[in-house]
Amino acid sequence: MSNSDSSFDCIFCKIVKGKLPCFKVYEDKSFLAFLNVNPVNKGHVLIIPKKHYETILDMPNDALSQIILIVKKITKAILRIFNIDSCNIDINLGKEAGQIVPHVHIHIIPRFSSDEFKEWPTKQIPEEEMQEIANKIKNSL
Ligand SMILES: [Zn+2]
């Protein structure tokens, strides 16, 4: 997946290039943050690298370190302006995980006490399988 090819029709690359408008909340030479136009809640922000990477796995470590610091900075501002204590910080990696735009983006979703908070559904996995999965992950690092 070459960066130049996949960025051609990328909606986020178009926002970066100023070909599409956005409600900008932050910009520096490498990153951009703006309001999600389809927000889960008011104040739902997306933070993206200006360079087209499909997932965080494609990002250089230094860029990945930098983006989380921007997430922290914007999260603090969101909590302050809405006078709330909670938000979801989310990265969807891949289609099955709900990644719709194939350009890295981190969600900050403010959470209010009036939310109908939904916990993720959980599954019962047999203990043997849990151990096997843990071992496989550990041994693949
Ligand atoms: Zn892109």
pLDDT for position 11: 97
pLDDT for position 5: 58
Average pLDDT over residues 104-116: 93
Cα torsion through 110, 113, 116, 117, rounded to 10: 70
Residue 109's closest CA among 47, 49, 43? Answer: 43
What is the 131 CA–ligand 1 centroid distance (Å)?
Answer: 38
Please, what is the average pLDDT of the chain? Answer: 93
What is the 59 CA–ligand 1 centroid distance (Å)?
Answer: 13
Confirm if 50 and 17 have CB atoms less than 8 A apart: no
Structural domains of the chain, ranges and CATH numbers in brackets: 3-140 (3.30.428.10)
pLDDT for position 119: 80
pLDDT band of 116, cuts 50, 70, 90: confident
- With a pLDDT cut of 90, the percent of the chain lying above it is 87
What is the 11 CA–ligand 1 centroid distance (Å)?
Answer: 6
Residue 4 has pLDDT above 70, yes or no: no
Average pLDDT over residues 123-133: 96
pLDDT for position 1: 46
Residue 6 has pLDDT above 70, yes or no: no
pLDDT for position 75: 98
Average pLDDT over residues 116-138: 91
Per DSSP, the three-state class of 111 is strand
Q: Are strands 106-111 and 86-90 parallel, antiparallel or unpaired?
A: antiparallel
Residue 2 has pLDDT above 50, yes or no: no
Catalytic residue among 44, 52, 103, 105: 105
Q: How does 47-60 read in b/e, with b if 16+ C-beta sit within 10 Å?
A: bbbbbbbbbbeebe
Q: pLDDT of 26-68, one tens digit each?
A: 999 999 999 999 999 999 999 999 999 999 999 999 999 999 9
105 is catalytic: yes
